[in-house]
Structure 1
Amino acid sequence: MNLERKITKLPPEPHQAMIERFGREGAYIPGDDRNPWVPFGEHAAIKHFAFDVRTNTAANILWVKGGGRIGTHKHHGVVSAITLEGSWGYYEYDWTARPGDFVYELPGTAHTLYSDDPNGMKAMFWLNGPIDFYDDEGKFEFTADVFWFIDHYTKYCEANGIEIDQNMFI
């Protein structure tokens, strides 16, 4: 009986090229004007800060302009947020987050973010894992994960002649 093991080379992960291109040991990311607000729908924008391709996490500031909302979405990982400016909430809950408030969301939660503050809201989010977005009829639209956020940031920078900050890729 032959007990030798056959070693099989596994195919590369689908995102291996991005991991090799953007993976880092750590970084410092300034929050100055070189870091653009990237439009996210009609009433919002995202200021990206960090993309960790190894753990599928991203850090950003979400700005929802007064009277705006983010479509219904479902988290597959933990999300943490701290409100920086204005106020916001989810239609599905009875609280309103204000500056300094901390929000912790568990995997599996689904909700629709809104801000009816006339000045809108800004909150820093640390996103772990993918987020599925749905339209107003509850039909799946797209999944946002770290690779989606990288694409969102890099395509905007490339289209607008803005230098991509390699320090964001940790």
Structure 2
Amino acid sequence: MATQMKAPPSDKAEIVDIPYAYRDLVERTSPGGRYIDAQTDVDSPWVPFGDSAAIKHLAFDVRRNLYSNILWVKGPGVVGTHFHRGTITMVCLEGSVRYLEYDWVASPGGLILEVPGESHTLVTDHPEGCKLFGWMEGPIDFYDGDANFVETVDVFWMMNHYEDYCKEQGIEINPKLYL
């Protein structure tokens, strides 16, 4: 009869060398784990995103069209209507945010899940705006107020957004952001 694990079995505060048959392949081919400082601009600067928002880019994975960042809407405002072609997972870090299409308001610590095939209009009414940490997978299509297509944002758009800003500002491109 199998037992159920109720908690991790080791309380050793040291590295345990576990056996793994493919360790050499992992060491040779994996980009490895890394730490990105999101609290300061050491690893990634705030890059303007329109007039009243900015993005701190945290990770780019071209193999999966996956990108991670913190979106900062600096005061009450809107991020235009957009259509998701992939899954989005976000956590509200500061302030509050809502979508016109839903009846909830996300507050700090709240988890927002978005699925492919839906469109949203992100709004923050909070006097200090909001900060959202997100993992975005796949393209996001943006539309104007008349439902006219404006632009597709994907991992390559995000990389270009980051790299162009760094070049303009004389900031070195951080290879840790590329998975």
Shorter-chain TM-score range: 0.7 to 0.9
Q: Offset at 1:42?
A: 1.4
RMSD over aligned Cα, in angstroms? Answer: 1.3
Q: Is 1:59 aligned with 2:65?
A: no
Q: Is 1:112 aligned with 2:121?
A: yes
Structure 1: 5+ residue runs without aligned partners?
A: 1-22
Q: Is 1:29 aligned with 2:26?
A: no
Q: Offset at 1:28?
A: 2.6
Once superposed, which parts of structure 1, at least 4 consecutive aligned residues long, lie more than 3 Å away? none
- Aligned partner of 1:73: which letter? H
Aligned to 1:78: 87
For the pair shown, the structure with the greater C-alpha radius of gyration is 2
Partner SS state of residue 81, structure 1: strand
- Aligned partner of 2:37: which letter? P
- Aligned partner of 2:111: which letter? F
| CA distance, structure 2, for counterparts of residue 28 and residue 100 of structure 1 | 21
Matches within 5 A, 1:31-46: 31=38, 32-34=40-42, 35-46=44-55
Matched positions, count? 148
> Percent of counterpart pairs with the same letter?
53
TM-score with structure 1 setting the length: 0.84
Aligned to 2:177: 168
TM-score with structure 2 setting the length: 0.80
Structure 2: 5+ residue runs without aligned partners?
A: 1-28
Partner SS state of residue 157, structure 1: helix
Aligned to 1:154: 163
